[in-house]
Amino acid sequence: MPELATTLVSKLRGHDEVGLGTILGSNIFNGLLIVAVAAIICPTTIKWHEVAIAVVFGVLAVLVTCPSQNGFIERRRVFVLLGLYAAYLVATVQNNMEAPSRFEGENRCLSWRDKIARPSFEPLQRGGVG
């Protein structure tokens, strides 16, 4: 949602490049840094079918968003992008309904955290020095 607000405000102020930079930068940041940090905290296995939908729609969105020779993204492309987004939502919901729950079974992060040495706080001994 912050990207939408930034893009709208920059567009209204006549700074199209700020909106585009915000969207591209956000996708690069989320796709590279956030995934890397999350995997460092809790390594995970991702099955291809879980990300295939996002990859396909991401590539389609990039292809539709590429500006024409005059540098504009026409309104008809906007409607194509909105249609792609609606189709992405439908495909994601259908995929989640058909796939078994990922949260069944053991959570590997809990076992990973248990291996971290935790300080023990034993109660102090009462008594004086002799």
Q: In whole angstroms, give the CA distance from residue 19 to residue 89.
A: 23
Both tokens of 125, joined, read 């001994």
pLDDT band, residue 100 (cuts 50/70/90): low
Work out the burial of residue 12: count CB atoms within 10 Å of its CB; fewer than 13 is exposed, 13-18 middle, 19 or more buried.
Answer: exposed
Q: In whole angstroms, give the CA distance from residue 87 to residue 67.
A: 22
Could you please report the per-residue DSSP string of 27-77? HHIIIIIIHHHHHHHS-----HHHHHHHHHHHHHHHHHHS--TTS---HHH
Both tokens of 102, joined, read 């990922």
Looking at residues 95-107, what average pLDDT do you find?
Answer: 62
Count of alpha carbons within 13 angstroms of residue 94, beta-carbon side? 7
Give tens-digit pLDDT for 10-55: 888 888 778 777 877 887 888 888 888 888 888 877 778 778 888 8
Looking at residues 83-87, what average pLDDT do you find?
Answer: 94
